[in-house]
Amino acid sequence: MIPGARLIILGRQGAGKGTQCVRLSRHYVVPHISTGEMLRASVREGTELGLAAREIMDSGGLVGDEIMIGIVDDRLSRDDARTRGYILDGFPRTVKQAEALFEITDRLRKPLDIVIDLDVPRDRVLQRITARRVCRDCGTNYVAGPVDRRPWICDVCGGDVVQRDDDTPDAINQRLDLYESQTSPLIEFYGEREMLVVIDGVGHPDEVLNRLVYAIDQRRRPPA
Q: Based on CB atoms, which residue is closest to ligand AMP, 32 or 175?
A: 175
Residue 2 CB, nearest distance to ligand AMP (Å)? 27
Residue 72 CB, nearest distance to ligand AMP (Å)? 8
Look up residue 160 and give its DSSP letter.
B
Residue 147 CB, nearest distance to ligand AMP (Å)? 26
Q: Based on CB atoms, which residue is closest to ligand AMP, 89 or 113?
A: 89
Residues 6 or more apart whose CB falls under 8 angstroms from that of 13 comprise 125, 129, 172, 175, 176, 179
Helical spans, DSSP H, in 46-197 = 48-58, 65-76, 79-83, 95-108, 122-130, 169-178, 184-192
* Contact yes or no for 108/82 (Cβ under 8 A): yes
Amino acid 210 reads N
Give the number of other CB atoms < 10 A from CB of residue 71: 18
Q: Based on CB atoms, which residue is closest to ligand AMP, 51 or 210?
A: 51
Q: Based on CB atoms, which residue is closest to ligand AMP, 25 or 97?
A: 97
Which residues have a catalytic role annotated?
17, 93, 132, 164, 175
Residue 57 CB, nearest distance to ligand AMP (Å)? 4
Which residues make up the interface to ligand AMP (CB under 6 A)?
A: 13, 35-36, 39, 56-57, 60-63, 68, 90-91, 93, 97, 166, 175
Query: What is the Cα–Cα distance from 153 to 135, expressed in whole angstroms?
Result: 8
The residue number with the shortest CB distance to ligand AMP is 36
Give the number of other CB atoms < 10 A from CB of residue 122: 14
Measured CA angle at 106 (ends 101, 110), to 5 deg: 95
